[in-house]
Amino acid sequence: MKWLLQHWPVFDKVPEVFILVPALLGLKGNLEMTLASRLSTQANLGNLDTARSQWHMSVGNLSLVQVVNYNTQIIVIVIMKVQ
């Protein structure tokens, strides 16, 4: 992955950003596993028995993941602007 990113202008200007890449990739994995955990918990509780409840749980949980992802991107952008 490093060979793909190493020539982006941000990495040339601020080489320390390479340290953030594995952490952000790990965060993405954590978000996906949290989503899977939340949905499987709801399935085991029987809250996903109807199509309507499946829709509501899926939309709610995916929205939550997107909000966390968006907030993380904003934080990274702010950090990049400060440096």
Domain borders along the chain are 25-31+49-83
pLDDT digits (tens, 9 = 90+) for 20-73: 777 777 777 788 888 889 889 999 999 999 999 999 999 998 898 888 888 888
Secondary structure class of 50 (helix, strand, coil)? coil
Q: Where would I find the H helices in 1-83? A: 2-5, 9-13, 20-45, 51-82
Q: How far apart are CA 63 and CA 38, in angstroms?
A: 13
Structure tokens at 61: 């949980």
pLDDT computed for residue 44 by the predictor: 94
Taking 90 as the threshold, does the pLDDT of residue 76 lie above it? no
Look at 58 and 6; give whichever has higher pLDDT.
Answer: 58
Q: From 15, 38, 31, select the one nearest 65 (Cα to Cα).
A: 31
Instruction: Return d(Cα 55, Cα 63) in angstroms, integer.
Output: 12
